[in-house]
Amino acid sequence: MSERAESAAGALPGSWRRQVPPPTGAKPAGLMSDRWTYLLAAGAAAGAAAAVPGPRLVALGCVLGALALRRPLLLCAAAAMLASFGAAAAVSDLSAAVEPGRLQGRIVLVSDPTERNGATRAVADTPRGRMEVWGWGGAGARLSRLAAGQRVEVAGRVAQAAGYSPRLAGAGAVGRLTLSEVGDVHPGAPHYRLANALRGVLARGAASLPDDQRALFSGLVLGDDRDRSPLTADDFRGAGLTHLLAVSGQNVAFVLLVVQPVVVRLGLWGRWLATLAVLGLFATVTRFEPSVLRATVMAAVAVSVWLAGRRVSGRRILALAVAGLLVAQPLLVHSLAFRLSVAASAGILFWAPRLAERIGGPRPLAQALAVTAAAQLAVAPLVIPVFGGLPVAALPANLLAAPAAAAVMMWGLTGGFVAGLVGEPAAAALHAPTRGLLMWIEGTAATFTGLGLGQLRMAHVLLIGAALAVVVAARRRRGAVLAAWVAIAAVLAAPLLAERSGPANPVALAVGWESTLWQSPRSAVLLLGGRESAERLLGDIRLAGAERIDLIVATDGGAAAASHVGVLRRRYGPAVVWAPEQNRIAGASVPAAGSAATVGDFVVRVESESRPLAVAVHAASGGG
């Protein structure tokens, strides 16, 4: 197993293992073989997904009995039972009735507030349980300035959650609190105060960076991408680079490398306790996101078994971490972020080393190719159903952007921290390398998204997987290996050819939340809905293969519509914009009711000029 693969997945970095030796000679782990740990993790996942109710104390007793008797099969079955019973209990707690009505008191934020459709959303512990908290207007503006861990006096109304929601389940929320007032703010628990102080130091150091780069820096170092622009978000998604903005095993490895000079000077118990404390603080700083939990728990398991003098593989560590997390928090099994993190790590640990051997060439390049390809193939069954495809650009874009992202992560935790302590103008000088690296990453994402290389569907992924299996298995059959590489190249080229062909006839496509795109080979008309997400809208239009928008019809002319139109203009260039009377969109015209215009292959007829603006679109004669 290569050090690169294990560090990327979240095991201990090689230099850490060399500088922080175990107390005795390494010994193989007992009780369970690696294959049994894989079954243990699979059983915990199956049990958590099944969520069959039962007595948790009985399941816990079975787990303890299996450990005492050293029976791996019994332990796997007992862990599945415990995860299943725990999941059922958690779902029952979430479904329990919550007292509706007015609430006034102190709440504790457990997540950083985020902006959603003109409102501010957070998750908080309240006197009536954990709630999804929403604020509009002044209350939302005050809420947006707070941070996880802070205690705040609020007033608002509580409503029961409308049925089971995976989003609420993932947050553990039992209801919804809509704020009317946000009052005094009090400091949080000590570990949150320290974590928020560290985040504040990094933020002050990065203050000289442009807005988009500052948001990108925060995403790469802390996994906090709340402030990224819709254009940047779409560029990263189109280039298959979104995972760089989530905390991964690589971030954890860098943290361990930073504290390594201090850890090596401690005794055995001091090393263990110090490392666990650092991991806990880092998890708090990065807000205990699912990928953070996976990475930090893997690192904690790796540190514990290494300092205990045990020799274990990264694959075993991953399986133990997954099993432990799903027994402790069974509803994680429904978190897409958690599943993606586990799948990517498994792909790297199981497939990357053998792929690197077969790719050949310079070892660093072969390992980089293998790690990227293995991770992308592993997450494909999860990504494609949700996002519609896997970008062909992901492999080359990751090869170019990942080294720069790693450099930003490392420098952000060291030079970036110093920059926050010394302030300007030294901070700007310290972040000069950061600025250059971020420009490279931004340019890579924008370039590969703009190339429009297409999306891999599930059939493409299965064909590539089969061809790679031939490459790995048919070592001495050069003809078969060559044919497999040719097949992979052909499969990767297929989406590009499909992307270039575009729709032969005018079509109408639902895009975003409430918008419609009329598209033909030579024109495009967008009906912009009143309630919309710019990020989702850009993604859907990109997946539709549109390279231009000739006319934007904004049904609502408010501030949100003006913002969305601005984003679309920056992406697709100048476009004619129609909007209702008294709109706030710069350069928009108000069409008269009953008027019509021909836009390429489409005829757009205005039915009402008041808000919401109503139009009818149909194909022009001869337009298909």
Helix (H) or strand (E) holding 133: strand 129-135
* CB distance 220 to 245 below 8 Å: yes
More confident residue, 473 or 528: 528
pLDDT at 505: 78
Q: Which of 389, 446, 538 is nearest to 526 (CA)?
A: 538
Dump pLDDT digits (tens) for 457-513. Answer: 999 999 999 998 888 887 777 788 888 889 989 998 888 777 666 666 788 999 998
Nearest to 301 by CA among 326, 282, 318, 281: 318
Q: Which helix (H) or strand (E) holds 549?
A: none
What's 131's DSSP letter?
Answer: E
Share of the chain above pLDDT 70, in %: 92
**pLDDT attached to residue 377:** 94
pTM passes above 0.85: yes
Contact between 150 and 182 (Cβ < 8 Å) = no
pLDDT tens, position by position, 76-111 = 999 999 999 999 998 888 777 678 889 999 999 999
> Which tokens is 273 given?
């306790």
Residue 490 buriedness (CB in 10 A; 0-12 / 13-18 / 19+) = exposed
- Supply the DSSP symbol for 155: E
Residue 9 structure tokens: 């997945």
Q: At a CB cut-off of 8 Å and minimum separation 6, what does 22 contact?
A: 306, 307, 308, 309, 310
Taking the C-alpha atoms of residue 531 and residue 72, their distance in angstroms, rounded to an integer, is 53
DSSP label at residue 555: S
- Encoded amino acid at 563, one letter: S
Task: Judge contact between 215 and 228, C-beta under 8 A.
Answer: yes
Task: Please tell me the predicted confidence (pLDDT) of residue 24.
Answer: 53
Q: 313 falls in which pLDDT band (50, 70, 90)?
A: confident
Least confident of 20-29, 390-399, 591-600: 20-29
523-528 vs 551-554, strand pairing mode? parallel
Task: With residue 519 as reference, give the H or E element that holds it.
Answer: strand 515-520
In this predicted model, what pLDDT tens digit does every residue of 364-387 receive, in sequence order? 888 889 999 999 999 999 999 988
Write down the pLDDT at residue 271: 87
DSSP 106-130: EEEE-S--EEETTEEEEEEEETTEE
Q: Are strands 515-520 and 507-511 parallel, antiparallel or unpaired?
A: antiparallel
Q: How much of the chain exceeds pLDDT 90, in percent?
A: 55
Q: Is the pLDDT of residue 1 over 70?
A: no
pLDDT given for residue 269 in this prediction: 85
Strand partners, 109: 124
Structure tokens at 497: 């050819």
At residue 501, the pLDDT reads: 60
CA distance 366 to 356: 5
Residue 305, CA distances (Å) to 261, 301, 558, 589 in order: 20, 6, 58, 68
- Is it the case that residue 620 has pLDDT exceeding 90? no
Q: Could you give the C-alpha distances from 132 to 160, 320, 398, 530, 601, in angstroms and in order?
A: 10, 31, 35, 24, 46
Q: Looking at the DSSP assignment, which residues form a beta bridge with residue 575?
A: none
pLDDT greater at residue 461 or residue 623: 461
Q: Which helix (H) or strand (E) holds 283?
A: helix 268-285
When mean pLDDT is compared across 18-27, 33-42, 350-359, the lowest value belongs to: 18-27
Ordered DSSP codes for 183-226: EEEE---HHHHHHHHHHHHHHHHTTTS-HHHHHHHHHHHHS--T
Taking alpha carbons only, the member of 430, 428, 376, 438 closest to residue 407 is 438
Q: How far does CA 557 lie from the centroid of its chain?
A: 32
Contact present, 51 and 84 (Cβ < 8 Å): yes
Query: Residue 363: is its pLDDT beyond 60?
Result: yes
Q: In the CATH hierarchy, which fold is given to the domain comprising 507-619?
A: Metallo-beta-lactamase; Chain A (3.60.15)
310-311 and 101-109 beta bridge pairing: unpaired
pLDDT of residue 432: 94
360, amino acid identity:
G
Of the listed ranges 89-103, 163-177, 510-524, 589-603, the one predicted with least confidence? 163-177
Q: Tell me which residue has tokens 């194909």.
A: 619
Judged on CB neighbours under 10 Å (0-12, 13-18, 19+), 199 is buried
Nearest to 400 by CA among 367, 364, 445: 445
Using left for φ > 0, alpha for ψ between -120 and 50, and beta otherwise, residue 25 falls in: beta
Please say whether the beta carbons of 45 and 326 come within 8 A: yes
Measure the CA–CA gap between 375 and 341, rounded to whole angstroms: 9
Is it the case that residue 185 has pLDDT exceeding 90? Answer: yes
What pLDDT is stored for residue 440 in this prediction?
97
- Dihedral over alpha carbons 126, 130, 132, 135 (to 10 degrees): 10
Asked if the model's pLDDT at residue 3 lies above 70, the reply is no
Across the range 263-268, mean pLDDT stands at 84
Q: Is 158 exposed, middle or buried (0-12, 13-18, 19+ CB in 10 A)?
A: buried
Mean pLDDT score across all residues of the chain: 88
Confidence of residue 165 (pLDDT cuts 50, 70, 90): low
Q: What's residue 20's pLDDT?
A: 59
Quick: pLDDT tens for 5-34.
Answer: 555 555 566 555 555 555 555 455 556 788
The pLDDT value recorded for residue 28 is 54
pLDDT for the residue 554: 92
- Decide if 368 contacts 402 (C-beta within 8 A): yes
User: In the numeric block, which tokens belong to residue 519?
Assistant: 């598209």
Pair 437, 407: CB distance under 8 Å:
yes
- For the cut 70, the answer to whether the pLDDT of residue 273 exceeds it is yes
Cβ count within 10 A of residue 424: 12
- Tens digits of residue pLDDT in 287-304: 888 888 999 999 999 888
Model pLDDT, residue 164: 57
Between these two residues, 529 and 438, which has the higher pLDDT value?
438
- What are 51's two structure tokens? 């969520």
Q: Which amino acid is at 232?
A: T
